[in-house]
Amino acid sequence: MNDDLTVTTLAERPELRERLWEMPDTWAPFMDHDLVANALMGSIAELFPEHVVVATDAEGALVARGHSVPFRLHGESRDGHLPDRGWDQVLLWAVNGHRRGERPDTVSAIEIAVRTDLQGKGLSGVVLGAMRDAARARGYAEVVAPVRPSAKHREPGTPMEEYAFRVRAEDGLPYDPWLRVHVRAGARVERVAPVSMTISGSLAEWREWTGLPFDATGEVLVPGALAPVRCDAERDHAVYVEPNVWVRHPV
């Protein structure tokens, strides 16, 4: 499959911009309601095309994409400390910093998506490598990523602080498959971003998004969520706070 791939940045093939979202969305429906993502995700291709990776097959069909953003970490965060607010924060820093004319010093991965029928064939690692190459070509020393561990949804009650640093006995690599891809590529698992994404809504909205009753105060286990959703029936709202895992890639 990889021999048939053409992998470039969107800056090199701007004609693919309108096709970036043609692949089916594999996220759980409630994940489409992060306000930061809804406000800013679509601007990445316009503002940072040199950090958007696109992969097409021999017929020219889009099979994978990767969004990353340059941002100013040193200055926004003391001593280069990666933020607790993870995904939401770094996207805000990138877009707002660009509008203010700030000089970025770090690149963060934002998303890697692979066409459903080709998942599990190593394409995510190819896109990750191309993302790192794009950062290196522009003089950046590292790529960071607020990783959403791919198997964490199977045990939403496990604290992310425990899950993120769990390793396999046979090789010492991370237990989680997506974290394992990053570490094999040279990354270091650094810390948990405890409030990386926040999704809130009325109980009626959560019922629509999940098909679950959301009729009692307490924690609700939602398929696809990495942690329980907190429901407040008396106040008619529920909030999902997603933890992610910060990794650093030297490039």
> How many structural domains compose the chain?
1
Residue 164 within any structural domain of the chain? yes
Report pLDDT for 165: 98
Domain of 156 in residue numbering reads as: 2-195+245-250
Residue 178 within any structural domain of the chain? yes
CATH, residue 66: 3.40.630.30
Residue 219 within any structural domain of the chain? no
What whole-number distance in Å separates Cα of residue 167 and Cα of residue 176?
8
How buried is 23 (Cβ within 10 angstroms: 0-12 exposed, 13-18 middle, 19+ buried)? middle
What are the pLDDT digits (tens) for 185-214? Answer: 999 999 999 999 999 999 999 999 999 999
What value does the mean pLDDT take over residues 56-74?
95
Residue 10 within any structural domain of the chain? yes
Report pLDDT for 36: 97
What are the pLDDT digits (tens) for 80-105? Answer: 789 999 999 999 999 999 999 999 99
Report pLDDT for 229: 98
How buried is 218 (Cβ within 10 angstroms: 0-12 exposed, 13-18 middle, 19+ buried)? exposed
pTM over 0.85: yes
Contact 91, 41 (CB under 8 A): yes
